[in-house]
Structure 1
Amino acid sequence: MTGYVALLRAVNVGGTGKLPMSVLAGICVDAGFRQVRTHIASGNVVFGSDGAEDVVRATLEKRLRDHAGKDIGVVVRSAAEIAGALARNPFADAPGNRVMALFVDGPLPEDPLEGVSGIRNEEIRIGARELFVFYPDGMGRSKLRIPVEKHGTARNMNTVARLAEMSAAIA
């Protein structure tokens, strides 16, 4: 069994289209995933499966579409990949809430920084299947736009660290 982390894109936790984490956990259990646990109400779920990453993603996306009546994007990473992203963080000395890992579906495009705009004092580094972004003044004030973000979802490094810990415990 492989430990996986699924990161949902554009999950509204407070209004229309809301997906409570208890419902997400139930969807995962019904899909046959094991040792299902969610982390904070922003679409993070950890579980075990014998399926390959693409099968796990397709299964979860279909079940979410059946539940919500619309597509909900899902990025899936193995426990090892999440741990690897945490280890590769080029901004490890910065506060974890100021560094985001932007996880994308599939491989990064040939030039993942093409079209980036609004950069001020933010720093971007390319990872394996993620971009790392350091927001020294916080993400809320940033005008940074990264076009590849439409193919992924971001989590701060505090969340990535917790997900790495949780997924490592999947046996």
Structure 2
Amino acid sequence: MKTFIALLRGVNVSGQKKMPMAEVRKMMTSIGFKDIQTYIQSGNIIFKSELNSTKEIEGLIHNAIKNTFGFDVPVLVKSVSEIRDVIAKNPYNNENDIAHNRVYFVLLQNTPNTELVIAFEQMDFPNEKFTVSNSCVYLCCKNGYRKAKLSNNLIERKLKANATARNYRTMNKLLELAS
């Protein structure tokens, strides 16, 4: 069995798409996953599966959420090695920025089109730095993510890719729990 991390987009935020994590763990068990852990209420699930295809796992979880909770939630699944690689390639490792929760990872479901990336990289956001890779847009938001102009929605629109954001601490905690 291989360990994976599922990242759900937009659950339990401002009272929207409420999904109690105890019910999420029960749902995950019912569709055949093992050793299920959740981390905080924002839709982070660590689990084991005999399946190897992240796309297949994403589809299973997406359908189970729709059947169990009655709403459509984008699901992004990454292996532990993929998460480890994303964290290792983070160009924003300033301890002060990390300590003040300014470093974010916007994980991409698929590799964005090269032309879209080139156009996106020409954009400028005061107080925000970003770097685009095949699987992640790395952010350093000097005024914090909540005040950032470079939001998850904007990144999805400009790169035409589903995405979900997590902060530095959450990414490292997920890796710790999965290891």
> Whole-Å Cα distance in 1 between the matches of residues 151 and 119 of structure 2?
11
- 3-state SS of paired residue (2:25): helix
**Alignment pair present for 1:148 and 2:155:** yes
Higher helix fraction: Structure 1 or Structure 2?
2
- 3-state SS of paired residue (2:175): helix
Per the TM alignment, residue 55 of structure 1 is displaced from its structure 2 partner at its CA by: 1.1
Which letter does structure 2 place at the counterpart of 1:130?
C
Q: Percent identity?
A: 28
Which letter does structure 1 place at the counterpart of 2:156?
E
Instruction: Show the counterpart of 1:53.
Output: 54
User: 1:58-137 maps to which residues of 2 (within 5 A)?
Assistant: 58-93=59-94, 94-95=97-98, 97-110=101-114, 111-112=116-117, 114=119, 119-137=125-143
User: Number of paired residues?
Assistant: 168
Q: TM-score, normalised by structure 2?
A: 0.85
> Whole-Å Cα distance in 2 between the matches of residues 47 and 62 of structure 1?
17
Determine which structure has greater relative contact order: mean sequence separation of CA pairs < 8 Å that are 6+ residues apart, divided by chain length: 1
Which letter does structure 1 place at the counterpart of 2:117?
P
Which letter does structure 1 place at the counterpart of 2:103?
V
- 3-state SS of paired residue (2:12): coil
- 3-state SS of paired residue (1:112): helix
Q: Calculate the aligned-residue CA RMSD, in Å.
A: 1.9
Gaps of 5+ in 1: none
> Whole-Å Cα distance in 2 between the matches of residues 148 and 113 of structure 1?
13
Per the TM alignment, residue 114 of structure 1 is displaced from its structure 2 partner at its CA by: 3.8
Gaps of 5+ in 2: none
Q: Could you say if the C-alpha distance between residues 144 and 21 of structure 1 is closer, same or farther in structure 2, counting changes exceeding 3 Å?
A: same
- 3-state SS of paired residue (2:47): strand
Per the TM alignment, residue 138 of structure 1 is displaced from its structure 2 partner at its CA by: 0.9
Per the TM alignment, residue 163 of structure 1 is displaced from its structure 2 partner at its CA by: 0.6
Instruction: Show the counterpart of 1:166.
Output: 177
